[in-house]
Amino acid sequence: MSLVSSQALQMEMPSVQRERPVVLHVDDDIGSLLMAEGALEEAGFDVLHAADGKEAIDMYRSHEPDLVIMDAVMPVMDGFDAIKGIRKLPGGLHVPILMITGLEDLDSITRAYDEGVTDFLTKPVNFYILPYRVQYLLRSKLTADALRVSQSKLDNAQRIARLGNWEWCLGNQSMSSSREFGRVMGLLEGQVVDNWDEFLDRIVDGDRQSVRVMAEHAVDEKQPFNIEFCVPDLHGESTRRIRLEAEPYCNESGECTHMMGTIQDITERTNAQKQIHDLAYFDLVTGLPNRAQLNEQLRYTLKLAKRNQGKFALLFLDLDHFKQVNDTLGHDAGDALLKQVSGRLVGVVRGGDMVSTTSENIDFDEIESPHTVARLGGDEFVVLLSQINRAEDAARVAERIAKSISTPYDIGEQRVSVTTTIGISVFPADGVTTEVLMKNADIAMYHAKESGRNGYQFYSRQIHEQALARFSMESELKNAIENEQLTLVYQPKVNLDDGSVSGVEALIRWDHEIYGTVNPTEFIPLAEETGLILPLGRWVLCEATRQMQAWIDGGLEPIIIAVNCSSVQFMRSDMITDINTAIAYSGLDPHLLEIELTESLLFKDIELGIRSLRDMKALGIQVAIDDFGTGFSSLTYLKRLPVDKLKIDRSFVKDLGVDAGDVAIVSAIITLSHNLNLTVVAEGVETRQQYDILHGFDCNEAQGFLISHPMQADEMQQWLIRATNRVERKVS
């Protein structure tokens, strides 16, 4: 970057033209003065005289003549110094000065031009021609004045518009630009950008590349373009937003040689637009989106949900007895309360765990909350949950909102309590248009108010009841985990060739005080959806390993204990840590622990699956693929998985001996497993016939009601003792 002389910003004004232009004639030769005066006055000029340079400067200052005729050699001060002096006076810079000199040497001529002379005449002067010469000089001065005024007006207009123009020569990449261009680009006064790369360097990092690419594209295509970008301001403290417009210029052979364009500082305009937007779309008191923005968001959400067959919910909130706060504490207190309420609403909705957290769900911690909290006015708010899996998700948020809102507020010196009532509508069950969904959420809110405030109500009774039922089951399950109402039962597995016990599988049960024993198929999915599977899974690992070690300590032969693991555990929790804890806690030999995983989760992210399996294997534990055949596993992947066992799902075993297809599948799975050096276990063996067929196919192990139903721990212990004795008897 280079510096050019700095000039104060000043507006050139057109000079007022005199009726008879005034000429100052400076000469120490009185004869010349008189000759010239006659000719000039006759030609319509008024003439002033000065006898030396010093007098000339004084005369210029007091009379501001339109033109100066200056002799070169004079006493007191010569013409050269006089010109220098005049050029420094106000208005003196542009006044035409005609130097008359007897000297013909080039040095003097050069010096005269250096001092700023406009033109010169050599002596002897032709006094007939002099007035013409003066006239031409005055005329060109007027043209130059007009040009300067126009340039100055343009500068001024550019300054007012914060708009600069520029030209980029593609041949040598040089750039020229107007003064305002520099100011818009945040340059110092006098600093200029003189090539394209320097210009790009001024643009902030995030925008530079797009300007470069766009410009190159425009050059290639010979197309105009425009783009917005940011540059640091003069002090480098903030950025200014700039809009650039450009057009290509081509030579006669159609080759693009130049780009010309403008840049304009649009920071204020952009800010004003944002302000207008904010006023139109945000609530002034709380800063939350207002009804207009909610409607837009709602339309967008609806479109998306229709396309993806998704679900979303609208929560219509009304503060209970808010009017009393306004009436007793005043509107300022009311506004302060509304602000705090909105802060809490946003907090709840942004909370990462507000919607169920199965692995299929979006992880709300990782994305900006897709949900909207809006204030409709007064004490009415709407929460749009734009992605839910089921109605309970909305119920869960409603519960949390109600709880959060009901915590007391400090408003000035006062402590205030309010509650809220919430109506919920769910797409698509409660409506398929934004209007209907809003109306139904509102209706639901009124029903909720009627049935006692501080609660929530779904528009549809059926959804409401379902949500409540699942909800209460969820909290009961939570209690069950905390209060150890969960137990494990055990089911043995036997080797098919000698009938000896190869291991036992731990299966969870929920001993519910009202429903009795609840099977895992009924509550594991719920535990997975709510994340309760994580503490539950940890408990199972600890309890199963503890039990096996207790049996060994009680004298039983060590056998493998298999524990089922949910996909959510596998994907989300640090399973290795959980396994290590269980092993350390129980003291069980890790080789006696087997983890059963269902195939679907392994193939969801094969690389992650392989990594986690390797970590498990490194601990020395066994890994089995459970329910094999029900997922979508690819046999090629199976080869890559570091597992020890396959458990053929009982749906294939069930019809062995009945369905030829199943026979073929089971036989193929067994052959394949053996080729891959995997042990095969058949699940759900209920009949002797199934057992024999499996035996015939060389299946390694069997598990099922034929051998034993799952049993309580003490029953299992007795069974194991008897089984060992049986085998021992057989052997002896």
Least distance between ligand C2E and beta carbon 529 (Å): 13
Largest pairwise CA distance in the chain: 156
Nearer to ligand C2E, 247 or 686 (CB): 686
Whole-number Å distance between alpha carbons of 134 and 330: 83
Closer by beta carbon to Mg ion, 240 or else 645 = 645
Assess contact for 616 and 576: CB atoms under 8 A. Answer: yes
| Residue 61 φ then ψ, to 5° | -60, -40
- Residue 37 found at the interface with Mg ion (CB under 5 A): no
- Cα distance from N-terminal residue to C-terminal residue, the chain: 101
Q: Which does 508 bind (CB under 5 to 8 A by kind): ligand C2E, Mg ion, none?
A: ligand C2E
Q: In the range 673-702, which residues lie near Mg ion by CB under 5 A?
A: 683
Residue 131 interaction partner, one of ligand C2E, Mg ion, none, beta carbon < 5-8 Å per kind: none
**How many residues interact with Mg ion (rule CB under 5 A)?**
5
566 binds, among Mg ion, ligand C2E, none (CB under 5 to 8 A by kind): ligand C2E
**Nearest-approach distance from CB 721 to ligand C2E, in angstroms:** 21
Backbone angles phi, psi at 463, to 5 degrees: -60, -40
- Residue placing its CB nearer to ligand C2E in the complex, 164 or 704: 704
Among 596, 599, 662, 701, indicate the residue that binds Mg ion (CB under 5 A): 596
When the beta carbons of 304 and 542 are compared against Mg ion, the nearer one is 542
Is residue 627 part of the contact set for Mg ion (CB under 5 A)? yes
Let me know: does 77 contact 52? Beta carbons within 8 Å. Answer: yes
Pairing of strands 409-411, 419-427: unpaired
Could you tell me the strand order of the sheet in which 97-101 lies? 46-50, 22-26, 67-71, 97-101, 119-122
Distances (CA, A) of 563 to 89, 115, 549, 592, 595: 100, 101, 14, 11, 5
Query: Which residue from 66, 115, 626, 701 is in contact with Mg ion, where contact means CB under 5 A?
Result: 626
Q: Which one of ligand C2E, Mg ion, none interacts with residue 519, CB within 5 to 8 A by kind?
A: ligand C2E
Q: Which is nearer to Mg ion, 71 or 683 (CB)?
A: 683
- 684 contacts which partner out of ligand C2E, Mg ion, none, CB within 5 to 8 A by kind? ligand C2E
The amino acid that residue 229 corresponds to is F
- Strand-pair partners of 174: 195
Residue with smaller CB distance to ligand C2E, 483 or 521: 521
730 backbone dihedrals φ, ψ, rounded to 5°: -60, -45
Question: Smallest gap, in angstroms, from Cβ of residue 653 to ligand C2E?
Answer: 8
Output the smallest distance, CB 626 to ligand C2E, in A: 5
Cβ neighbour number for residue 551 with a 10 Å cutoff: 21
Identity of the residue, 115 or 627, whose beta carbon is nearer to Mg ion in the bound complex: 627
- Rounded to a whole number of angstroms, the minimum distance from the CB of residue 553 to ligand C2E is 23
CB of 650 to Mg ion, least distance (A): 7
Between CA 656 and CA 666 the distance in angstroms is: 8
User: Minimum distance from CB of 636 to ligand C2E (Å)?
Assistant: 24
Nearer to Mg ion, 547 or 564 (CB): 564
52 binds, among Mg ion, ligand C2E, none (CB under 5 to 8 A by kind): none
Nearer to Mg ion, 39 or 507 (CB): 507
Which one of ligand C2E, Mg ion, none interacts with residue 641, CB within 5 to 8 A by kind? none
Using CA atoms, how far residue 297 sits from 96, 97, 139, 305, 614, in Å, is 70, 73, 68, 12, 46
177 binding partner (options ligand C2E, Mg ion, none; Cβ < 5 to 8 Å by kind): none
Tell me if residue 69 falls in helix, strand or coil.
Answer: strand
Residue 710 near which of ligand C2E, Mg ion, none (CB within 5-8 Å, type-dependent): ligand C2E
Q: Which residues bind ligand C2E (CB under 6 A)?
A: 491, 507-508, 519-521, 524, 537, 540, 564-566, 596, 626-627, 650, 683-686, 703-705, 710
Q: Report how far residue 376's alpha carbon sits from residue 441's, in angstroms, rounded to the nearest whole number.
A: 13
Provide the β-strand partners of residue 265.
Answer: 242
Contact (CB, 8 A) for 496 and 700 = yes
Q: Look at residues 50, 115, 112, 61 and name the one whose alpha carbon lies nearest to residue 84.
A: 115
Shortest distance in whole angstroms from residue 527 CB to ligand C2E: 8
CB-nearest residue to ligand C2E: 704
CB 418 within 8 A of CB 340: no
Q: Toward ligand C2E, which CB reaches closer, 21 or 492? A: 492
Helix 520-530 and helix 461-482, axial crossing angle in degrees, nearest 10:
90
Q: DSSP H helical segments within 10-115, as ranges?
A: 30-42, 53-63, 79-88, 106-114
d(CA 75, CA 79): 9
Site for Mg ion in 537-576 (CB under 5 A): 564
Interface residues with Mg ion (CB under 5 A)? 564, 596, 626-627, 683
